[in-house]
Structure 1
Amino acid sequence: MAEFDTSHMTGRTAAGVRTAAIDEGLRAHMNKVYGTMSVGMLITFAAAWALAGLAVSDVPTEYQIGADKYLTGLGQALYASPLKWVVMFAPLAFVFGFSAGINRMSAATAQIVFYAFAAVMGVSLSSIFLVFTGYSIIQVFLITSVAFAGLSLWGYTTKKDISGWGSFLIMGVIGLIVASIVNIFWPMPGLAFAISILGVLIFAGLTAYDTQKIKTTYLQMAHSGDSEWLGKAAIMGALSLYLDFINMFMFLLQLLGNRE
């Protein structure tokens, strides 16, 4: 009996050690996801700022785009040429190419590609400086940050399985794309407002869903010990949350931002 009790306790101890190791690994994994996403956001901001920024006294008048803003020389060259169309569609091409080629990349290469994508996205998003006031951009960014943090925390901690949300949210994204295209060619009163409202709700849901999915995927694969695969999974998770944040920010900006 004593031998049985000893082996039983040893088994429980080993299980406890494995659980603790998985919990520690999960924390490290999520820290890498959020860290990679945060660096991507900084790169995006820096790239956008390289094209548009606050005006100073010695800026040529032809670069002036508002009371307190100007296009940099790089921004002037970009927006005054056909390259603006390349910049507009480059992020979409990057996402499709990145998703298709991730399995052939090393984790280090995938991280570099993600940062390159963040820079391209920043160049594309620089156009918001041409449309919205700097104060409203900062204000909406802070609102988005608080909302994103709360939604992601809920997705990480909730015991509720929200994996079933995925198909409905993806259908919602497809619907948003179709409605946006329709609104470009056949503008209808109130449609842009409705698209923005639905966009905020859909990407709010995706933030919680993607966070739980990242956590669940790690727990399912942690026993494999494949550090390379887990490294790429962290980068893909960072990409998912990055896109959720950017899209929620853009839709909130359409609703709350003050235009020049």
Structure 2
Amino acid sequence: MQQETSASLQNLTNEQALSIVRAFMNRVYAWMAGSLFISAGAAAWAVSDLQLLSWVAQNMMLCAIIAIGILLVMSFMSTRLSASAMGAMLLVFAAIEGLTLGPVVAVTASGTLATALACTAGTFGVMSIIGATTRVNLQGFGRFFMMMLIGLLIAMIVNIFMQSSTADLVISCIGVLLFSAMTAYDTQRLNMLALCLDGEDRAKGAIHGATQLYLDFLNLFLFLLSLLRER
């Protein structure tokens, strides 16, 4: 399959290649937008139902385990799953993430939420454009971003016990910078990936890509929200 795809790519004109990339990215953004819509709906549902909100607040660890489990299945069993099954799993994952946002949304002023969302959308859009148009190869930064992500996670765990407001501020700033950069990185990688996939693999790749960009957007939003709440 890969040899056939590589051979067919050699016969593509620039216009045909660009058309394939655009169609692929449109599918990625459609899945991402749908996931964000479901997350927003789930968060609103949790906020409007005090019993559900209380259950989610008391079972955050369970929700996190289920969400991580879904991501692991999507990552390591993608060859056995159909594109429709992966799409359904992404939407379930988005719903769970939306529910876990409920307690955060419930205690945050609407103005702060709106500001964080607007800043997130603007930053995400700009970084996606940069990733899609820059001639600089960002793929060499993948290992660096992974190391930064691990370091950020460790710092967040340590600060759970330290409860340092200064550390919170620093972590939030680093998180915003990291996920902004990762948005550009992931967008460029997906633009490159579009020409390497075909058929069912391309459909699955779009869902994988939507999951990655969804996580970039969500984490960027949460870190920006944390920054605004620190003010």
TM-score, normalised with respect to structure 1? 0.80
User: What does residue 168 of structure 2 align with?
Assistant: 192
**Shift, 1:186, TM fit:** 2.4
User: What does residue 194 of structure 2 align with?
Assistant: 218
CA distance in 2, matches of 1:19, 1:148: 27
Among residues 7, 10, 14, which one is paired with 1:19 in the alignment? 14
CA distance in 2, matches of 1:251, 1:122: 16
Instruction: Check whether the contact 2:120–2:217 (CA below 8 A) recurs between aligned residues.
Output: yes
**Shift, 1:136, TM fit:** 0.8
Percent identity of paired positions between Structure 1 and Structure 2: 33
- Could you say if the C-alpha distance between residues 194 and 17 of structure 1 is closer, same or farther in structure 2, counting changes exceeding 3 Å? closer
Unaligned 5+ runs, structure 1: 1-14, 54-70
CA distance in 1, matches of 2:164, 2:109: 25
Q: What are the residue-to-residue correspondences of 1:162-201 with 2, within 5 Å?
A: 162-201=138-177
- Structure number having the greater helix percentage: 2
User: What does residue 100 of structure 2 align with?
Assistant: 124
Question: Which structure has the larger Rg?
Answer: 1
Query: Could you say what secondary structure the match of 2:137 adopts?
Result: coil
**Shift, 1:258, TM fit:** 7.3
CA distance in 1, matches of 2:200, 2:86: 11
CA distance in 1, matches of 2:56, 2:123: 33
Instruction: Check whether the contact 2:40–2:98 (CA below 8 A) recurs between aligned residues.
Output: yes
Higher RCO (CA 8 Å, separation ≥ 6 residues): 2
- Could you say if the C-alpha distance between residues 249 and 18 of structure 1 is closer, same or farther in structure 2, counting changes exceeding 3 Å? same
**Which whole-Å deviations, capped at 9, do the CAs of 1:106-162 have from their partners, x for residues lacking one?**
111111111111001101111212331122112110110011000001100111111
Amino acid at match of 2:80: R
Q: What are the residue-to-residue correspondences of 1:1-260 with 2, within 5 Å?
A: 18-53=13-48, 71-79=49-57, 82-219=58-195, 221-222=196-197, 226-257=198-229
User: What does residue 56 of structure 1 align with?
Assistant: none
CA distance in 2, matches of 1:123, 1:132: 15
Instruction: Check whether the contact 1:52–1:75 (CA below 8 A) recurs between aligned residues.
Output: yes
Amino acid at match of 2:208: M
CA distance in 2, matches of 1:173, 1:254: 17
Amino acid at match of 1:176: L
CA distance in 1, matches of 2:96, 2:82: 21
Query: Could you say what secondary structure the match of 1:45 adopts?
Result: helix
**Which whole-Å deviations, capped at 9, do the CAs of 1:158-192 have from their partners, x for residues lacking one?**
11111111111111110010000100122335111
CA distance in 1, matches of 2:203, 2:73: 19
**Shift, 1:95, TM fit:** 1.9
Amino acid at match of 2:212: S
**Shift, 1:43, TM fit:** 0.3
**Shift, 1:84, TM fit:** 3.7
Query: Could you say what secondary structure the match of 1:154 adopts?
Result: helix
Query: Could you say what secondary structure the match of 2:77 adopts?
Result: helix
CA distance in 1, matches of 2:87, 2:217: 18
Amino acid at match of 1:228: E
Figure out how many residues of one structure are paired with residues of the other and give that number. Answer: 222
CA distance in 2, matches of 1:141, 1:252: 9
